[in-house]
């Protein structure tokens, strides 16, 4: 069981919910297609398509972060937030301050990163 107290859990939950709200707003803004003007033309259409592709790529990255946040909020509700999914130990506060959605302690994350390098 995590050594994190209710006050700390509340603070992380608040931070996560605020980040989620901000990201969802950014995603909504990115979902609006870029309009280069009313003049039809191949160049304008190409630029609009490229801009839309870039916006969707950015939105997709933000959507992935929102999914991570939702998982972290779920761990808070279930009482497993701050517990390493690999070793069951506490995730260091310094790790959670840097990445509030962390699922592993620093040691296990380093092992995980090393194992996934190719």
Residue 48: what pLDDT? 75
Residue 112: what pLDDT? 92
Domains annotated for the chain, with CATH where assigned, are 6-116 (1.20.120.910)
Are 91 and 105 in contact by the 8 Å Cβ rule? The answer is yes
pLDDT level of residue 103 (50, 70, 90 thresholds): very high
Residue 91, Ramachandran bin (φ over 0: left; ψ between -120 and 50: alpha; else beta) = beta
Query: What does residue 50 show for φ and ψ, rounded to 5 degrees?
Result: -65, -40
Tell me how far apart the alpha carbons of residues 39 and 93 are, in angstroms, rounded to a whole number.
55
Residue 1: what pLDDT? 46
17-74: pLDDT as tens digits: 999 999 999 999 887 766 655 555 566 667 777 887 888 889 999 999 999 999 999 9
Residue 118: what pLDDT? 57
> In what helix (H) or strand (E) does residue 101 lie, and over which residues does it extend?
none
Residues 6+ apart with CB under 8 A from 72: 12, 16, 81, 100, 101
Reference 22, options 66, 54, 61, 53; nearest CA is: 66
- DSSP code of residue 41: -
Are 96 and 102 in contact by the 8 Å Cβ rule? The answer is yes
Output the pTM of the full model. 0.80
- The two tokens of residue 104 are 């592993």
- The two tokens of residue 60 are 């997709």
The pLDDT of 93-109, averaged and rounded, is 96
Q: What is the mean pLDDT of the chain?
A: 88
């Amino acid at each position: 069981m995590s050594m994190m107290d209710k006050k700390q859990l509340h603070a992380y939950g608040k931070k996560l919910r605020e980040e989620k709200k901000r990201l969802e707003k950014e995603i909504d803004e990115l979902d609006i297609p870029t309009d280069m003007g009313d003049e039809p033309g191949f160049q304008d259409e190409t630029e609009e398509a490229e801009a839309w592709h870039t916006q969707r790529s950015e939105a997709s990255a933000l959507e992935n972060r929102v999914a991570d946040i939702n998982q972290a909020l779920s761990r808070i509700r279930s009482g497993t937030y701050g517990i390493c999914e690999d070793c069951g130990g506490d995730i260091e506060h310094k790790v959670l301050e840097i990445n509030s959605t962390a699922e592993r302690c620093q040691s296990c994350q380093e092992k995980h990163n090393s194992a996934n390098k190719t």
